[in-house]
Amino acid sequence: MTGGPLLQVRGVGKRFGGLAALDDVHLTVPEGSVTALIGPNGAGKTTLFNCLTGFARPDTGEVVFAGRRVDRMAPQRIARLGMVRTFQSIRMFAGLTVYESLLAVRSGLGSRAARRRADELLDRLGLAAAADRRCTELPLLAQRMVEVARALMTGPRLLLLDEPSAGATAAERDRLVGLVADLRRDGTTVMVIEHNVGFVMAVSDQIVVLNFGRVVATGGPAEVAADPIVQEIYLGV
């Protein structure tokens, strides 16, 4: 069951020169929900994630997380408040093993508690057999799972996943669907950028559709799938 609003985006705009990457974006993410952010390439999805997490500063509007305005905060401070993300372009700690990379972001946990948390996440994300391998030696999806595990080491209230199933096989995608469902059951709120329609429909409580930087539809999976605008610009109907 979802709760009150954890994240509120109010009139956010972002320009790069003459290009409006985001234009008056409004959305609300209820606590305990899974929200998918979809749209064509170049619609502004990753730019919005950047504005939410402090990697870009909105030109207009505001971002409120857990009752606090965060759109002028640094990424590290936003992460400490509990909003943590992964990246479309994978970022590994050079030279570290999977296990070491998790301990490197233990976020103030005592060493014993950090090791217990790392062991738990390695098992949960299917990474235990790779714990002593260097992250950069792993296949693409395994590296994405390391990113997710690192984010979860911080105990986030809101986890933002940027295209987690990119490059995944159908079986791997099914495992990711299960992971997102498990996170939701555990009380972690999730936002996900994703292009795979089946993945989106399987995991989402609500879907927000962006096109040319504007929100053109918001609703549950069935409602959004039936929207003629969404069918035209995204589903190819």
pLDDT in tens, 157-185: 999 999 888 878 888 888 889 989 999 99
**Does 190 lie in the same domain as 103?**
no
CATH number of the domain bearing residue 10: 3.40.50.300
Last residue of a domain, one of 138, 153, 168: 153
**Does 220 lie in the same domain as 109?**
no
pTM: 0.90
Q: Which residues of the chain have pLDDT under 70?
A: 1-2, 106-110, 234-237
Contact call for residues 161 and 5 (beta carbons, < 8 A): no
Last residue of a domain, one of 123, 153, 183: 153
**Does 148 lie in the same domain as 166?**
no
**Does 128 lie in the same domain as 22?**
no
**Does 169 lie in the same domain as 63?**
yes
Q: CA 138, 121, 195 angle in degrees (round to 5)? A: 60
Contact call for residues 66 and 37 (beta carbons, < 8 A): no
Report the percent of the chain where pLDDT is more than 90: 60
Q: CA 138, 132, 187 angle in degrees (round to 5)? A: 75
Domain count, the chain: 2
Domain of residue 137 covers: 91-153
pLDDT digits (tens, 9 = 90+) for 100-124: 999 988 655 568 888 899 999 999 8
**Does 176 lie in the same domain as 118?**
no
